Amino acid sequence: MAELINELTQYLSALYTNPDPTIKSNANQWLQSFQKTDEAWITSDVILKTQEAPIECKLFAAQTFRAKITFDLDQLPEPHRLQLRDSLLTALSQDSIISSKIILVQLCLSLADLALQLPEWPTVVTDLIEKFGKDPKTVPVLLEFLTVFPQEIVGNSKIKILNQWSTPEIAQLVPSTLAMYLGAQGITTAIKSQIFHCLSSWLRAGEIQSSSAGTQFILGCAFSALEDDSLFESAVDFIVDLIHETQEIDESMPVIQLILSFLIALQPKLTQDRDDPDKMRGYCRIFVEAGEWYTPLILRHPETFLPIVLAIRSCCDYEDLEVVGITLNFWYRLSKGLHRKREDANAKPLLDIYSSLVQTIIRHLHYPDDPSSQVGQEADDFRRFRHDIGDTLKDCCYVLGASVCLKRSYDIIVQAMSSNSNVKWQDIEAPLFSMRTMGAEVDLKEDGVLPMIMDIIPRLPAHPKIRYATILVLCRYTEWTNLHPDGIPFQLQYISSGFEDPTQEVRLAAAQAMKFLCRDCAQHLITYLPQLHSFYQNMSLTLGQDDMNEVSAAIAHIIAGLPAPQGAAAMSTFCMPLVEGLHNIAARKQAPTKQVQQNVSDLLERLDTFLSIIGRLEGDLLPDCLKSMGEIWTVISEILEQYGSSIKLSERICALIRRGLTFYGEACLPLIGSVLEKVTAGFEASGCSSYLWITSKIVAAFPELTDPNFLSAVQLAFERQSNRVFPLLNENNASTISDVIDDYIHLLSSLMDYQDQILISSNCFHQSFPLVLTCLEFFDPEPIFTSLNYIREILGHSSLELQAAASSSSGAGGKPGSATSNAPPGSNQMSVPVAPAGYHLFAQSINQLVTQNGYLLSDVLLKRTLTDFPEDCLSTVIILFRLLADFYPTQLASWVPSVIERLPPKVATIPDKEKFLLAFKQALEQNRSELVKQSILDLVKSTKRERARERFTEER
């Protein structure tokens, strides 16, 4: 034993003091392995009883006990568990452990976890009070145990609670014992603080009632403790937790009335301690907690509970915005009930508070006089706060009416502009921001205040911040403008002038406002299209790409509402110059410099913006429009040939092709062969994955098409692209071309969904499957999901069902692909059954694929599921194994045991493996796929427990 303890001490020393990371890692592994052994029980006990043992060893022993009690208690026979309890109690009595907070906490956690699993120790609480509660020296042990004990009840999901310790007597004993200590003579500040923490712990766990913790004496002690800086935080936490536990209002009225009396007495502190932000934050937490839970009482008895609301209102006036932020949820909760009582005379004091709140909120929205005083995180926090408190303005609108609140903002602007002194931009910007925030609450038919606001806009100072805020106000009310179109000419002019402002944020606001104005007022702006075309041409010479995209989106919204003939003409007006720009670049055959590629990308992106919003015009396209389709494709194909090796440009081109598929529909079928040829050549030349992506979209765009020319073009493109993908995988590490693999599997999946005869009859069907297995090794969830769903489509193919049905009816059996199940779970049945003359060829190809790859598939599925697959994958993995069990039970019975036997012990223990293999074998023998599911779920649960143990020990 001495040698083992000496060895353990050396490893602990290496872990904590040796700078070599390899030595540290080896030491950590040894210590983790040691904690799993049976010897760890007695070794830890000896260490804790050895007075001269180093503190590191004692801490490790305490942590080991907690880990063993959590995960390995079944190693101890039941009689030995009571001996373990006694050993822990003995250890907790030692002076060296009482004086070491970190060891004390670990041992109390160990004892708590043990007690909860010992049904033969129902008197745990009374026993601990009896043992440690009489001597002032050991009271800290009792308080620490009583603090962690309820925390483990609600927070430790790794143990099964078997102890029926909780009784009404205990629920009274704990708070009465703690109250006794609070009243004891000579009690230290540290003990008082621990008592408040302990009371909070029991309240949060729901193990004591608010009535027993909220006595006159305990509340008096807690509120008195607010005077002591060293007790302030623990007292605030306890008071907040107590208020939280009185949320069952009718049952808790006596306690609530008592709390209310203390809150009223506390109210003057909001004035006395206004210079102390920490205390103001604590007071605010208390009043807000009461306000949120007592909202029904405030609405029912406003005259009685008004002091709480006034206190929170006072907190909202405070200059520390963190304190103000604490109050916001209360205003939201109160507004929901107050809205229904607006006509009640008793509610007038509350309505007056909301009315005054509007002005306070707008004051808090003000930027500082020196904006440069806020930088970095502070500036970000303030911007976030403005939006948060802006939501409280919406609550005010809900209570008072949006017009009333808008009028308040309007009046503030008028007052600021009428002052004799020079108006500060902050005094105008804040109410403008508030108007934008309140937009969602304003009735679109509002005719009182909004016209006044629109009238004052031309007179606002021309400061960039004010201009920015004003444009965003116009942007927020475009739906209102649609019903009041008289303002469109001015708004269009005002927003357009924003593009000429030297300040970037003003230009961005103008671009956003133009987009929403054109979207929401499209019908009113049709006659402005010629004017907008001139504007578009002029702005394209000066605006940046982002702004031009917004303007393109704005105009596209107008075009989208036009019938096909007029819409196509408008499209031609705005888009053909962009196509012409691409043609000019292609004609010059310029080298693909960074600037040339950027120019191409900008033009492609603007075209994509138009098509993405317009989608497809209503009605049939005219011949001229269809003719232009061919002209556009000629230009795009030239760009693809010259610049398609660029990843960015290939993505732009393919995205534009997809938009074209939507816009033209089946009218573009004559060009599909050429498109597939070009994108395939582009992929062969560049290896850019976007070409695979657009091929899958083309397949999905025409799911019912049986045209031989189309099918031939798809098959040729698929096989050529496959023959380019396979060498890429050999030449590169799979993780470096994950985008290619992901898009290729999407293509396989599209073919399986819509043109399975092309896929399954191709040699590439078999050659591609190792690549699918490789994808299952990735860590990115998206390709994993794609691969699993593709495999599900293969194993659930209708040809296997037809084969199984034919085999069953003919009495054949025992060959690969046979099964007795007529409706395997997760099967992906085709809407059109495979022709009887050909289904067996499909089934034969799938059988061959599964036979060749089934072991590797089972291996990767089980290994990743038991270690690091995303949790959302589990249901699909189970479906795959159920399908394999239905169609390939014999092969599966040989694959899975081999995989399981090779799993390392840290993934699955030997008992867990044996239990799973037995259950899995029985499930296959009984031909019950639901038992296959259960056996896998049980194994996953067991391995999760082992991983939880690893994390638990690593947290030392």
279-329 per-position pLDDT tens digit? 999 999 999 999 999 999 999 999 999 999 999 999 999 999 999 999 999
Block residue for tokens 């004003």: 470
Determine the Cα–Cα distance for residues 880 and 794; give it in Å rounded to an integer: 10
Query: What separation in angstroms does the CA of 329 have from each of 41, 70, 293, 400, 698?
Result: 50, 39, 11, 17, 50
Structure tokens at 487: 């303002």
With DSSP H G I counted as helix, E B as strand and the rest as coil, what are the percentages for the chain, rounded to 5?
Answer: 80, 0, 20
Number of C-alpha atoms within 13 angstroms, CB side, residue 585? Answer: 28
- Asked if residue 261 belongs to a domain, the reply is no
Question: What band does 36 get if pLDDT is binned at 50, 70 and 90?
Answer: confident
Do 521 and 554 touch, CB atoms closer than 8 A? no
For residue 92, CA distances in Å to 70, 85, 115 come to: 19, 11, 15
What was the pLDDT predicted at 374?
Answer: 83
To the nearest 10 degrees (0 to 180), the angle between helices 55-71 and 101-116 is: 20
Tell me the C-alpha distance between 496 and 869, whole Å: 52
857 is a domain residue: no
Specify if 186 maps to a domain: no
In a domain, 48, yes or no: no
For residues 466 and 432, the answer to whether their CB atoms sit within 8 Å is: yes
> Stretch 400-412: mean pLDDT, rounded?
96
Reported as a pLDDT band with limits 50, 70 and 90, residue 476 is: very high
CA dihedral 768, 773, 779, 781 (to 10 degrees): 70
591 belongs to a structural domain: yes
Is the pLDDT assigned to residue 60 strictly greater than 70?
A: yes
Model confidence over 681-717: pLDDT tens digits? 999 999 999 999 999 999 999 998 999 999 999 999 9
Which two structure tokens, joined as six digits, stand for 489?
């000419």
Domain count, the chain: 1
Residue 543 belongs to a domain: no
- The tokens of 100 are what? 């070491």
DSSP letter string, 868-930: TS-GGGHHHHHHHHHHHHHH-HHHHHHHHHHHHHTS-TTTS-HHHHHHHHHHHHHHHHTT-HH
Alpha carbon distance 97, 15 (integer Å): 22
Could you tell me if 163 and 213 are in contact, meaning their C-beta atoms sit under 8 angstroms apart?
no
What phi, psi does 618 have (nearest 5°)? -75, 130
Task: Tell me whether residue 640 is in a domain.
Answer: yes
- Residue 563's SS3 state is strand
Other CB atoms within 10 Å distance of the CB of residue 36 = 19
Q: What percent of the chain has pLDDT over 70?
A: 96
Q: Which residues make Cβ contacts (< 8 Å) with residue 428, sequence separation at least 6?
A: 413, 416, 417, 460, 461, 463, 466, 469
- Tell me if the pTM is above 0.95: no
In terms of residue numbers, what domain contains 585? Answer: 563-671
Is the confidence at residue 629, as pLDDT, over 60? yes
What are 783-808's pLDDT values in tens digits? 999 999 999 999 999 999 888 888 77
- When pLDDT is cut at 50, 70 and 90, the band that residue 819 belongs to is very low
Q: Residue 253 has what pLDDT?
A: 96
- Rg of the chain in Å (alpha carbons): 37
621 pLDDT above the threshold of 80:
no
Q: pLDDT (tens digit, 9 = 90+) per residue, 177-187?
A: 999 999 999 89
CA angle 814/815/820 to nearest 5° reads 60
Which two tokens mark 299?
Answer: 């609405």
* Neighbour-count burial for 401-437, b at 16+ CB within 10 Å, e otherwise: bbbbbbbbbbebbeebeeeeeebbbbbbbbbbbbbbb
In a domain, 901, yes or no: no
Q: List beta partners, residue 563.
A: 618
Buried b (16+ CB within 10 A) or exposed e, 523-553: ebbeebbeebeebbeebbeebeeebbbbbbb
